[in-house]
Structure 1
Amino acid sequence: MLWLIGCATAPAISSVPELTYSQQAYVIGIADQLRIDVWRNADLTRDVRVRPDGFITMPLMGDVQAQGQTPEALAAIISQELKAVIKNPEVAVTVSNPVSVTYQFRVRALGQVNQPISVAFTAGMTVVDLVLAAGGVSPFGAAQRTILYRLTRAGYVEHPVHLNAILLRGEIATNYLLQPADILIIPEKSVWKGEF
């Protein structure tokens, strides 16, 4: 009879995941809800939603391209157009509901967590923050085989996360900072790997 004995070892760290995210000025997208304030002109102040064609409609101006503009740039465009009818218009654009980025700026925890989640990304989030938000590792989770998937220009790249070392021994070398679109997957324990 042949007996196979294996030991579970932590995978070697290939490299620290490169952080490519940096805070940028918000760019208006389709379905975003905007508040357009024209100082001293209540009739021109309004709440508008960016249409599927990327435009909004403003009184005295008609259609204005909003998609792809920052709020400051859109305010400058509206102000310039209104100069034909208003002396020194002062315009402010606020994104009151940024619908277009709802799924672009999220991080996700899947697999053997107590509550699989997709949450809005916040600068400074780490692997542990995401695991805690997901209710921790389930009893069936192989925490030592956790993988962080990071989206790069070449596609998703895998980065091993030594979650047991982080949670049980406080070794935080793989408690990586997260960025939008990161996916953390904790696989199920395997009898064949001696994990039960």
Structure 2
Amino acid sequence: MGAEAPKYLIGPGDSLKVFVWGDPELSSEVIVRPDGLITTPLVEDMQASGKTPTELARNLEGNLSKFIKNPKVTVTVTNFVGQYTEQIRVVGQAAQPQSLPYREHMSLLDVVIAVGGLTEFAAGNKASIVRRINGKTEQFQVRLDDLVRDGDISANVEMLPGDVLIIPETWF
């Protein structure tokens, strides 16, 4: 029996479309606040962060059933940011250091492209990824210069949710 596929968990900053069937005035588009809550027509301050879209839809149905008979709700994530702990952080000598939403099968090359590449001062082959594995923090070297500047695709590695890519400055 195979492992269950990971489910997307809503996070602060995600944009959601809440559709209430047969009741357009209760349907809305909302952004999950930094505290993880959302407010929709008739439902104030509901926890959204950490739930799947389906779980949130069932919670909204429960709250809306106080006001309307047998509500049917669908929640669609229209702009993804994701849980903070799942984001990939890029620090150091990237053109645009930032946190990125994790995407399934995201590679090191995908991350480098998303942050605009390396600065001229980057020591790409001394870069490293910090990753939590079974509760322990581990750090391993990656070869960004070989990957980006020399096109060595063997230097491309798969990124995991929560990874931190550190790109140090070269010393002349």
Q: Give yes or no for TM over 0.5.
A: yes
Aligned position for 1:151: 132
Structure 2 CA distance for aligned equivalents of residues 78 and 180 of structure 1: 28
Q: How many residues were matched structurally?
A: 167
- Does the 8 A contact of 1:112 with 1:140 survive in 2? yes
Aligned position for 1:160: 141
Q: TM-score, normalised by structure 1?
A: 0.59
In the alignment, structure 1 segments of 5+ residues that lack a partner are: 1-21, 191-195
Aligned pairs for 1:59-98 within 5 A: 59=42, 66=48, 68-79=50-61, 82=65, 86=69, 88-96=70-78
Q: Percent identity?
A: 35
Residue type matched to 2:52 in 1?
A: T
- Does the 8 A contact of 1:38 with 1:90 survive in 2? yes
User: 119, 122, 129: which one pairs with 1:141?
Assistant: 122
Larger RCO (alpha carbons 8 Å, 6+ apart): 1
Deviation at 1:150, TM superposition (A): 1.6
Deviation at 1:152, TM superposition (A): 3.0
- Does the 8 A contact of 2:30 with 2:38 survive in 1? no
In the alignment, structure 2 segments of 5+ residues that lack a partner are: none
Q: TM-score, normalised by structure 2?
A: 0.65
User: 85, 89, 93: which one pairs with 1:108?
Assistant: 89
**Relative to 1, partners in 2 of residues 1:67 and 1:176: Cα closer, same or farther, differing over 3 Å?**
closer
**Cα RMSD (Å) of the superposition?**
3.9
- Does the 8 A contact of 1:108 with 1:119 survive in 2? yes
Larger Rg: 1
**Relative to 1, partners in 2 of residues 1:146 and 1:73: Cα closer, same or farther, differing over 3 Å?**
closer
Q: Does 2:28 align with 1:39?
A: no
- Does the 8 A contact of 2:128 with 2:167 survive in 1? yes
